[in-house]
Amino acid sequence: MTPLPAPVESDLATLNRQVRILVHRLVELEHLNAQLRQQAHHDLLTGLPNRRLLADRLGVGMARARRSRRPLAVCCLDLDGFKAINDQHGHAAGDVVLVAIARRLEQIVRAEETVARVGGDEFVLLLDLDQAGDLPPVLARVRAAVQAPVDLGWRTLQVSASVGHVFYPGLGGDDVDGDTLLRQADRAMYRAKNRVRDPIPRPPTEARHALPLQVARDGRGPDDLRHGI
């Protein structure tokens, strides 16, 4: 083979170098775009889905529940006394607790289910169930996971949580949107938290009659009762 003239070889080497630089920059750009997509849909501290991704996952879960006629449980979880952890031990300690709780909750849910962080110490779980009666054992595991000690290195901390939940579809049928479900679960969570703060025992007769009144006001049935943990 006749050698190429030196100027042509030089031009090819320059072109090859420029192509390599371009490919490298394209790879860097793709990595940057992937990071931006991750940040747009995930919580920066825990890596869990944020509100935006939760809304997408909730829509998918509701559609799946309508097709299968199996309930989707929307559960709001709020850590009790978390502000005191930040005040007494610092925000770095609070971050360690949040990350630990996030990892534990991820281990409880299945791959097709969702754990999202939607606020400072508030999480949302989307759980696909075969029947409503499957939820209490899952919530028991959630309670155990949250209450397990968190090792800070120099000491351990324990927290608890209040949880409220709603089912979809509920007694009201399919005619409800995701935002409404989240609001209902959030209100249920705060009712559970208030019961822990200021429990008011009621006579059995009153308690038996309270449920139908609550159903009439909220349009939800006995299976939609929220459980505080």
Task: Give tens-digit pLDDT for 70-90.
Answer: 999 999 999 998 999 999 999
Report the pLDDT averaged over residues 10-16: 76
pLDDT grade, residue 181 (50/70/90)? very high
Which of the following is catalytic: 121, 128, 186, 224?
121
> pTM (2 decimals)?
0.72
For residue 170, the number of C-alpha atoms closer than 13 Å in the C-beta half-sphere is 23
Report the pLDDT averaged over residues 150-167: 93
Write the DSSP string, the chain.
-PPPPHHHHHHHHHHHHHHHHHHHHHHHHHHHHHHHHHHHHB-TTT--B-HHHHHHHHHHHHHHHHHHT-PEEEEEEEEETHHHHHHHH-HHHHHHHHHHHHHHHHHHS-TTSEEEE-SSSEEEEEEE-SSGGGHHHHHHHHHHHHHS-EE-SS-EE--EEEEEEEEESBTTBT---HHHHHHHHHHHHHHHHHHHHS-----HHHHHHHHHHHHHHH---GGG-----
Write 109-113 long-range contacts (CB < 8 A, 24+): none
pLDDT of residue 216: 30
Can 80 be counted among the known catalytic residues? Answer: no
pLDDT of residue 194: 87
